[in-house]
Structure 1
């Protein structure tokens, strides 16, 4: 018995696209999807070509509330809507950032789900969605060898990350979009990059890399040469670029820097919108914004706070964010007796009042590409203590606009103590960060040149000239 599902495809001038029916026929452990596109798609595509509009597709893994997703939204806002028509596909149809997609962007997901990706209910729902993708066109069976090799690779590296094991299956298990695009942008590593490389028809293909690629646990075997299929690879910091090229040295000519786009004025406006902290603490407030993940080193932060309290500092450490290791962190907080002082506030839609009200912003990640959270704290003129890792080193000049520390309990304690004990140093950092110019939209000209030269590049590629 077939089961009717709905999916969205471009139609007319609607932001959310006209629905057609898809029939899903289940056969035991497999599934076949038969899609039916609306004839109006072809009409619209012809109209766009006549108007000279360029069609650009963004692909991302999820729409969860995280730095890359926020950066993508700002990039979309920066596009010239008279020259470009934008589309968005999220491989996992869930995430709070669906609510912030600009109205000129057409979302290709059916019934975008703007709930969190981090709750237990969300993980169960996402697990069910991934299970379906496993059997679409034999995605799981095609990738079983690679899955085994990647599992072995991660075991040897000392940490198994399930998302990196599954992104290839998710990509191959996602229905192809039966359209041609002038440009396709994979805005995250993993599934989005695989999907754009292998399952999208576009004249120009681009990928963004937001992390320290080597430390994040990716490998060429896992990627299956997807980056060789890109015309341009954008890195968000020079150190992120160096890390990527350690794995892919042959792709150096394809790589360029493209800094995160942030709206400083909007951040300042939102910081005034409401109150942040609601407790009665009148001591030092430390704040970190970021998902609860191994990368962010909260396990070290908890021990650091315990040591600061032992030394008599009237300090509380607040965390805005949620994630899969929350239970582990709650147990560690209990074990160290800091339940009243290390406070997991969860994810919030507007973190800026909290950033504005904190005394010191702390970001002691194990690795970064370039931290949007640090940039947001700088916009709001905060004193910052950060780990001396990839990305952070390009944002913080030690002793000038923040303190960089090696990621050990002893060094982090020392760095925070220094800023607490020296009000003049704190004011120096605050003033320096207030003076930073965050105008990064000049990167748009580079992007426009790539997209508007896409026809010539596409012709050369297929005639053997590239």
Structure 2
């Protein structure tokens, strides 16, 4: 008899965690598992990439009303006789406006958001909250399952979360999965009583799929000028990704006489800030915010350098993809950088400041031999991680 699995995720709009889930779902043996997916939003660029076997669960009416703009939401909820839920909607808005940091804001808002969400009326063999915070909280409180698993995709200590809040949920999980050994060490140190629950399952990437998609668009996606280097970064337009540092670096590269265009694939709440910063530094002809791309692989393939200027990461799936496409890679020295890049062999790891990043990128642009050596080494590696799905099967029992 097939086992029933539920995955919980806020959305499939963008991001490494979202791409990682789609990759995982593409590898599941649907002869052995029935898979439901609960999303808080049914919009997003990765929705069309879901395997047809995945059943996306509907959202309840009270949640749909709750997520309307504040005044409209309160009117609808009061009109439908849900005064208590209208109060929760008001307090949810207050929490969002008075809590600056994203992590504590999501933790503080959960109890109000939770009141709008019904429990899922189905018993599962396993429920998997595939992203830290809300996905795990929903999995614990709103799902009936024999086993419950929570996934943490980042360096926990850099997320700004309150461990005293999360321990109440981690206590109720059977397993806590994270994406690198360094992230696992951080979780075990932060939650020593949960030490035995922590497991590492690397993001699933398929070289065969990535190389196929990379060749789908053979035209020049960058429209580059002669002699112009193309740098690419991928990530949410969020403070974590360090794009402000990338722009500061770009200013240094211009001052040093380099001809380049730096493209950023991603979307987020920092778009306006970054656009203003690009203009303030006179870099409109050098930086391009490309928005979301359902297929980023032609952009990776055609870039000269892949750069990740993040402040912290769990395990950046875009770096794994750049490795598969044999790109010269530069990353800042965030806590898990060495989990992904062997410095000087698979790419360059540099200090987290514009001088060091500019020096590293300048070196890659100036020395063709280094670019070729890095690319050749990566081309010889076996980089697929499809077998990671077996680790999940072991946890499911």
Larger Rg: 1
Matched residue, 2:266:
321
Partners in 2 of 1:130 and 1:359 — Cα distance? Answer: 49
Whose RCO is larger (CA < 8 A, sep 6+)?
A: 2
Distance 1:428 1:172, change over 3 A: farther
Q: Is this contact kept in 2: 1:315–1:341, CA < 8 A?
A: yes
CA drift of 1:175 comes to 1.7
SS in 2 for 1:322: coil
Does residue 427 in structure 1 map to residue 390 in structure 2? no
Matched residue, 1:440:
385
Partners in 2 of 1:249 and 1:423 — Cα distance? Answer: 47
Runs of 4+ in 1 over 6 A off after TM superposition: 132-137, 139-152, 158-161
Matched residue, 1:271:
214
Does residue 254 in structure 1 map to residue 200 in structure 2? no
Structure 2: stretches of 5+ with no match in the other structure: 61-65
Matched residue, 1:360:
305
Matched residue, 2:15:
66
SS in 2 for 1:225: helix
CA drift of 1:289 comes to 1.0
Q: TM-score normalized by structure 2?
A: 0.89
Partners in 2 of 1:58 and 1:232 — Cα distance? Answer: 14
Partners in 1 of 2:180 and 2:25 — Cα distance? Answer: 20
Q: Is this contact kept in 2: 1:150–1:221, CA < 8 A?
A: no
Partners in 2 of 1:246 and 1:85 — Cα distance? Answer: 35
Matched residue, 1:384:
329
Q: TM-score normalized by structure 1?
A: 0.76
Structure 1: stretches of 5+ with no match in the other structure: 1-51, 112-123, 454-466
Aligned pairs (5 A) from 1:6-405: 52-109=1-58, 138=84, 162-223=105-166, 225-274=168-217, 275-282=219-226, 283-405=228-350
Deviation track 1:260-299 (CA, whole Å, cap 9, x = no partner) reads 1112111101111113524242311111011111011111
Partners in 2 of 1:253 and 1:139 — Cα distance? Answer: 38
Q: Is this contact kept in 2: 1:164–1:190, CA < 8 A?
A: yes
Distance 1:161 1:351, change over 3 A: farther
Matched residue, 1:15:
none
Distance 1:320 1:225, change over 3 A: same
Q: Is this contact kept in 2: 1:172–1:195, CA < 8 A?
A: no
Distance 1:89 1:159, change over 3 A: closer
Partners in 2 of 1:327 and 1:181 — Cα distance? Answer: 43
Deviation track 1:237-259 (CA, whole Å, cap 9, x = no partner) reads 01111222232121110001100
CA drift of 1:162 comes to 4.2
SS in 2 for 1:288: strand
Distance 1:167 1:364, change over 3 A: farther
Partners in 2 of 1:225 and 1:108 — Cα distance? Answer: 26
Partners in 1 of 2:52 and 2:125 — Cα distance? Answer: 20
